[in-house]
A = this chain, B = another copy of it.
Amino acid sequence: MSESLVIEKVEQAVGILDEVGIDAWLTFVRETTESGDPMLPIILGQPLTWPSALIVTRRGERIAIVGKYEDEAVRSTGAWLEVVPYVEGIGEPLVGTLDRLAPGRLAVNYSENDVKADGLSHGMMLRLRAHLAGTPHADALCSAEPIIASLRGRKTAGEIARIRAAIEITDAVFRSVASFARAGRCEMEIAEHMRGEAARRAATPAWDAAQCPIVSTGSDSMIGHGLPSPDLVVRAGCIFHLDFGVCLDQYCSDVQRAWYVPGDGESAPPPAVHEGFEAVAGAITAAAQTLRPGAQGWEVDAAARSALTGAGYPEYRHATGHQVGRAAHDGGAVLGPRWERYGDTPTRSIEAGSVFTLELGIENLDGRGYLGLEEMVLVTDDGCVFLTERQMRLPLLGETVGRIC
């Protein structure tokens, strides 16, 4: 828990409310340990048990209404200037507080498009509406999506430093696995080795441990979000591919790297594999050249997608990039095609300070398995910079460690 970061982000929210013209922002939660609002770790850094209301206003008020017994812990964060404990029910103190604040627009955390802005459960929305029935606040409700997109998206210097630290550990784990993985090792033992290397550096898997890393040893491996197999092993003549990220100090990385496993006498990847690698890396370059503040995600996606298909490869069936921060898949704008499953996230305006992945690949390239790359970039005022040291060539597995980049 970093209390200074919580204070920093809650203060940042006040300015964003003013920018987007919303008077008050209400995060309304209960029993958050297992099913909490994704905003809670950012604006509180603690779980809450009973129905609780965290209210930020554009005038700068920061009010927490929480169950008795949790008020002291909430006060100790320093982020919430007024902490109101209650015993029997939150309805009365909540409505009383809103009466005093009289917000014309009251944003709450729901969104059809952005899961990180959708932390309000449907049952809690029904409870909230019941509390507000007959008050003017019922008609003031609106979605907090624009607030949350900017608050999660615009990284502070402290947040970027943490993401860089997570990437450094990821790189170290990739260097380690490049010497550990060799023909005959199974996917599962490679995954265990990587998780162990991360744990030794006090980092945890950036997503569900069973699928982090995703390990691919050739054309028989599960594609995409699959499970490392105990039966599939690294084999000569195949592509060895990893998708891995770590969480360190609550911030994440998400990176893909690939190697070619040489057969006897092979000193370089086969030409078809080499060409596929160049096409993938080139498509990522095309995305990076398009990514800048004000661009929309689908434009960045289209640049990469058409670069790859223009080189004669099949279209990949996922977005070219997503934001990274507190979560490996963070919220807000997505660098994706305008498909139903991405909602309106590909048409959002890109903001400076956002961190994105750029990721794509080719399934079963030359019959040798999945070849994909994933880099991480920071959007600057006029473009983007790579946070990862880019993989610009496809090394042979077993080459001297550290030469992948």
A residues near B, CB below 8 A?
A: 1, 30-31, 33-38, 46-47, 49-51, 67-70, 72-73, 76, 86-91, 110-127, 130, 207-208, 210-211, 222-227, 317-318, 326-329, 339-341
For residue A207, give the distance in angstroms from its CB to the closest CB of chain B.
5
Question: B46, B121, B207: which contacts A120 (Cβ < 8 A)?
Answer: B121
**Known interface pairs A34-B327, A110-B121; A227-B73 also in contact (CB < 8 Å):** yes
Q: Name A117's closest neighbour in chain B (CB-CB).
A: B123
Q: Which 9 A-B pairs have the closest CB atoms?
A: A69-B224, A89-B340, A118-B123, A110-B122, A31-B115, A122-B125, A118-B121, A88-B339, A47-B208
| Identical copies in the complex | 2
In the complex, A220 Cα to B33 Cα: how many Å? 26
Q: Are B341 and A88 in contact (CB under 8 A)?
A: yes
Interface of A is mostly: loop
**Known interface pairs A120-B121, A226-B73, A227-B76; A341-B90 also in contact (CB < 8 Å):** yes
Q: Are B225 and A70 in contact (CB under 8 A)?
A: yes
In the complex, A130 Cα to B113 Cα: how many Å? 13
**Known interface pairs A51-B341, A121-B119, A341-B90; A224-B35 also in contact (CB < 8 Å):** no
A35 partner residues in chain B, CB cutoff 8 A: 35-38, 115-116, 118-119
A118 partner residues in chain B, CB cutoff 8 A: 35, 121-124
Question: B31, B49, B317: which contacts A87 (Cβ < 8 A)?
Answer: B317
Question: B47, B50, B225, B326: which contacts A341 (Cβ < 8 A)?
Answer: B50
Q: Are A49 and B329 in contact (CB under 8 A)?
A: yes
A327 partner residues in chain B, CB cutoff 8 A: 33-34
A116 partner residues in chain B, CB cutoff 8 A: 34-35
Known contacts A73-B211, A118-B124, A125-B125; 4 additional CB pairs below 8 A are: A34-B116, A69-B224, A91-B340, A112-B124
**Known interface pairs A49-B225, A50-B341, A317-B68; A207-B33 also in contact (CB < 8 Å):** yes
Q: Name A70's closest neighbour in chain B (CB-CB).
A: B225
In the complex, A325 Cα to B281 Cα: how many Å? 48
A114 partner residues in chain B, CB cutoff 8 A: 123
A selection of 8 A-B contacts at a CB cut-off of 8 Å is: A1-B210, A35-B37, A35-B119, A72-B223, A89-B339, A115-B121, A118-B121, A118-B122
A341 partner residues in chain B, CB cutoff 8 A: 50-51, 67, 86, 88-90
For residue A271, give the distance in angstroms from its CB to the closest CB of chain B.
28
Q: Are B88 and A110 in contact (CB under 8 A)?
A: no
**Known interface pairs A1-B210, A36-B35, A88-B341; A123-B113 also in contact (CB < 8 Å):** yes
A226 partner residues in chain B, CB cutoff 8 A: 69, 72-73
Most buried by B among A116, A119, A318, A340: A340
Q: Are A329 and B31 in contact (CB under 8 A)?
A: yes
Q: Name A92's closest neighbour in chain B (CB-CB).
A: B340
Question: B68, B329, B339: which contacts A224 (Cβ < 8 A)?
Answer: B68
